[in-house]
Amino acid sequence: MSKLVAVLLILVGTILGVLTSYFNNNSINRDMSSHTAAYISSVDPDNNFGITLPLRVDITLKENSTYGVYALLPKSRVGYASSGWYELDSDGIFFTMREHRRLNIEPLRNGVIEQLFVRPGAFDGHMKLVKLDEHSAALVGSKVALHMNY
H/E element, 11: helix 2-23
pLDDT in tens, 91-111: 788 888 899 888 887 766 667
Q: What was the pLDDT predicted at 84?
A: 92
Q: Which tens digits make up the pLDDT trace of 46-74?
A: 777 777 778 888 888 888 889 999 888 88
pTM: 0.64
More confident residue, 29 or 142: 142
CA dihedral 103, 143, 127, 97 (to 10 degrees): 30
SS3 117: helix
> Which residue has better confidence, 128 or 110?
128
Q: Determine the Cα angle at 81 with ends 106 and 35, to 5°.
A: 85
